[in-house]
Structure 1
Amino acid sequence: MIGAIAASRQRLLHARHSPALASMALSWRLHGLPVCGSTEVVLNQLLAAGASAPLAVFSRRQRYGHGQRGRVWLSSPGGVWLSAALPWPQNPATAADPGLAVAVGLALQLESLGLKAEIKWPNDLLLDGRKLAGLLPRLRLRSGRIRWAQVGLGVNGRNRVPEGAINLAEALGRRCQTSAVEALSARILSALDWAAGHAGDPDGVVIEARQRLHLPPDPLRIRGEPWQAVGLNRDGSLALALGERRLAWHRTF
């Protein structure tokens, strides 16, 4: 698995149309498993044992993956399921939101395949209004300084998906090899390269995210009130409006 991902990554980085990707490429340490309880648990164990970022753990299937607010993360064979630790600027005040940076990196990879992706704040990536990917970002801090960024990612490749979701095979046409797990994994690593390469440019990341932001038509109910999402604030929080009132909804790490 890891050998095939590494080979796909080298082919992608050396493609003539990807010089920018090659210049941002990180020296990833990759671990692959046929099945595990949670890639995040395995990643944390490796980090606790002395491993360092950039580090990524892939699994063909997770038994107990979890997403936003502890929801079960379905991780069946045919998708890409991973957790990764990325180098990140130490000062939280000058560091980009890792969730937005990774989402933009993924969107750019999809755009290079001719697909138009939208970012559904805070944790989803959509194609044609249907969920293609979910991510769960975290910042690991010590004494108020960032040690590294961490992200759990699930991207639908060729796996079966529930109603309201889409996989890459359907979006591209089932004969396209990009939806193969190894090729898709290589593109995800390049998306993470982009995120780490722009981690020190929070304004630039927000500008890119705004261009791809999905604004839900229905209001969000907060404390019983219907707030409408209207955009992204400079700090990456979701801008909400209720008449003349404004509210910033922040992601928690």
Structure 2
Amino acid sequence: MGEAPLTFVRTGRGRLLHDLRRHGHDTWCLRRLGVCASTETELSQWLVQHPRCGLHSRAVLADHQIRAHGQYGRRWMASRGGVWLSAALPWPQQQCSTGLFGLTVALALAEQVESTGLQVSIKWPNDLLIDSRKLAGVLPTLVFRGSRVRLARIGVGLNVSNPVPPGAVSLRERLSSGRCRLRVWQGAVLRALDRARELALDPCMVVCGAEQRLWAESVADPGTGEAWQVRGIGMDGRLLLEQGTRRTSWTRWTDSPDQDL
């Protein structure tokens, strides 16, 4: 039997935009879907079909993804109850690394969660943790024209009321049900992305804020098992490590070449 066709339902966008505008965030173009394969794919198609959006940011939100894109191209299912979105932003810092961009978004998102009183740590390079359990992840991509950033793209997944696998945590485990309304957290993530654009103008603040929230003081090399002490974060988003007199750094993100978007 063939696979059932996907259904695309746009609901609740008006209320979300109203909430954003009420908080002074009126530069968003939104598409909200009931079910889709991947918000990343939907966003790519939107950018190809309508490449110009002025100074507005765009986001595709889905209640449920069946083939979501993760780190290193991994596919996973994003269940109902979480915030799943992909966004494209005009980025104010024209000379930027993908690693620093991802940390900027992670820091802004951490600030939003911390406004509830929860303590958040950043697991370099792309996860937010509460008590060593994964709460959220970001997937950053920069599109360049020459040496200048043309577009910043970010995928965000935040566990709110959705079921989570072992090793993860949702907000409903730590907050009252009244503080876990999905639309509220969708708006919070979009406001965090606006905040990230502000933070991008002060890379030193981003590095300092991310360093204060680092999840561990030491890490193990996945290839050799060697233990390295975490020294901090470089201005390009690299994780700085040392082992006695030896020093090294890690980076995982690669920048995207210019695309006709």
Same fold? TM cut 0.5 = yes
Relative to 1, partners in 2 of residues 1:157 and 1:194: Cα closer, same or farther, differing over 3 Å?
same
Who is 1:76 aligned against?
Answer: 79
Deviations 1:81-103 (A, max 9, x none): 00001111363259982211111
Q: Which runs of 5+ in 1 are unaligned?
A: 14-21
Who is 2:19 aligned against?
Answer: 8
The answer to whether the aligner puts 1:249 opposite 2:250 as a matched pair is yes
Distance 2:97 2:140 in 1: 17
Query: After the TM superposition, which residues 146-161 of structure 1 pair with which residues of structure 2 at under 5 Å, given as runs?
Result: 146-161=149-164
* Contact kept? 1:28, 1:54, Cα under 8 Å: yes
Query: After the TM superposition, which residues 101-120 of structure 1 pair with which residues of structure 2 at under 5 Å, given as runs?
Result: 101-120=104-123
Distance 1:224 1:207 in 2: 28
AA paired with 1:163? P
AA paired with 2:118? L
Match for 1:60 among 63, 67, 70?
Answer: 63
Aligned residue for 1:81, secondary structure, equals strand
Deviations 1:93-131 (A, max 9, x none): 599822111111111111111111111001100111110
Deviations 1:30-50 (A, max 9, x none): 101101111011111111122
Q: Which moved more, 1:27-36 or 1:230-239?
A: 230-239
Aligned residue for 1:248, secondary structure, equals strand
The answer to whether the aligner puts 1:88 opposite 2:88 as a matched pair is no
Q: Which moved more, 1:94-103 or 1:160-169?
A: 94-103
Q: Which moved more, 1:145-154 or 1:211-220?
A: 211-220
Distance 1:29 1:219 in 2: 42
The answer to whether the aligner puts 1:35 opposite 2:35 as a matched pair is yes
Relative to 1, partners in 2 of residues 1:102 and 1:224: Cα closer, same or farther, differing over 3 Å?
same
Distance 2:219 2:208 in 1: 24
Q: Which moved more, 1:222-231 or 1:237-246?
A: 222-231
Q: How many residue pairs align between the two structures?
A: 240
Distance 2:218 2:229 in 1: 8
Root-mean-square deviation (Å):
2.1
Q: Which runs of 5+ in 2 are unaligned?
A: 1-11, 255-261
AA paired with 2:87? A
Distance 1:34 1:94 in 2: 33
Distance 1:169 1:8 in 2: 21
Which structure: greater helix fraction?
Answer: 1
When the two structures are superposed, what TM-score results if normalisation uses the length of structure 2?
Answer: 0.85
Aligned residue for 2:240, secondary structure, equals strand
Distance 2:204 2:41 in 1: 32
Relative to 1, partners in 2 of residues 1:158 and 1:182: Cα closer, same or farther, differing over 3 Å?
same
Identity, in percent, stands at 45
The answer to whether the aligner puts 1:162 opposite 2:174 as a matched pair is no
